[in-house]
Structure 1
Amino acid sequence: MFARFAALTVLLGTLLGVTAAHAQSTDASGTWLTQAGDARVKISKCGGGICGVIVWLREPYDTATGQPATDSKNPNPALARRPMIGLPLFSSMQPTSPNKWSGQIYNADDGSTYASSITVTGAESLRVEGCVGALCGGETWSRVGR
């Protein structure tokens, strides 16, 4: 009888450990390094979905002016002056499954917003994809902090 109880306890503990590991791996909250390694994005829960803002840049200063980098590619002159650090990247990013969110992503490289999805693919990896019409692409980000 004790052996069965011990085996059940071990099995239950293993299942709970797997469930906890799975739950942790599907949480997008934390700080992520872009695939190119040029930016870190802090993702947090907000409004029933997730938000993401730039918190670090490999090159935080404009090399021409020596001033902090700004959203200079944005076609709106007022927004083109906002700092890159703190720049929001996601909008309307809502859950579509336990480890996936869909919405819009802002691309500071060209000042445009695109349809996007974000999928946690492992405890330390996040797939970020965006589409322009039928043309889609993406990259994998690595977790650097919780």
Structure 2
Amino acid sequence: MFAAPASAGASSDVPIASVWRNPDNSVHVRIDQCGGAICGTVTWANQEAIADARSGGTEQLVGTHLFRDLKPTGPGKWSGKVFVPDLRQTFSGTLQFQDGDKMVGRGCVLFGIICKSQTWSRVR
């Protein structure tokens, strides 16, 4: 069910043990198996991201699971929870892997009425 990095154009598999950076390159997340699901754990963050997380109540950003309990819901799409450290809140969310080097994270509130997406780029 879990596979090595997806080849270009085929995004149905999760690239386990891959590292991704957010659009500002202020946070890096490693995608891995966590029990029967996948998760994304912060492996690196710059000082500004660490300070923002602390001001929101998340004392330790590195090591925090941003993407949690994600399970497959369609080709290249996984649904679960997204943790926002500077708000210290968890929302329903999805990850979608695209073309082997892009990952779109989306979190929603109010039954999916208000959503925010972020496109992450593969580091390795």
User: TM-score of the superposition, structure 2-length normalised?
Assistant: 0.79
Q: Give 1:135's match in structure 2, choosing from 97, 114, 122.
A: 114
Please name the residue that 2:64 is paired with.
87
Offset from partner CA, 1:76-112 (integer Å, 9 cap, x none): xxxx44x211111122211112311101110012111
Cα distance in 1 for partners of 2:8, 2:78 equals 17
**1:100/1:118 contact within 8 Å kept:** yes
- What is the number of residues matched between the two proteins? 115
Runs of 4+ in 1 over 3 A off after TM superposition: 22-26, 60-63, 69-72
Q: Which runs of 5+ in 1 are unaligned?
A: 1-19, 64-68, 75-79
Highest CA radius of gyration, 1 or 2?
1
Note if 1:47 corresponds to 2:14. no
Rate the CA distance shift 1:110–1:61 in 2: closer, same or farther, 3 A.
closer
The percentage of aligned residue pairs carrying the same residue is 30
- Indicate conservation of the 8 Å contact 1:126/1:142, yes or no: yes
User: Deviation of residue 21 (structure 1)?
Assistant: 2.7
Alignment partner of 1:21 is 2:13: no
Distance 2:77 2:122 in 1: 16
Match in the other structure for 2:44 = 56
Task: Return the alpha-carbon distance in structure 1 between the equivalents of residues 97 and 55 of structure 2.
Answer: 30
Residue 95 of structure 2 is aligned to residue 108 of structure 1: no
RMSD: 2.5
Amino acid across the alignment from 2:23: Q
Return 5+ residue gaps in structure 2 as ranges.
1-5
User: Taking CA–CA contacts closer than 8 Å with sequence separation of 6 or more, which of the two structures ends up with the larger relative contact order?
Assistant: 2
Which protein has the bigger helix share? 1
SS at match of 1:89: strand
Q: Give the match for residue 22 of structure 2.
A: 34
1:118 to 95, 98, 107: 95
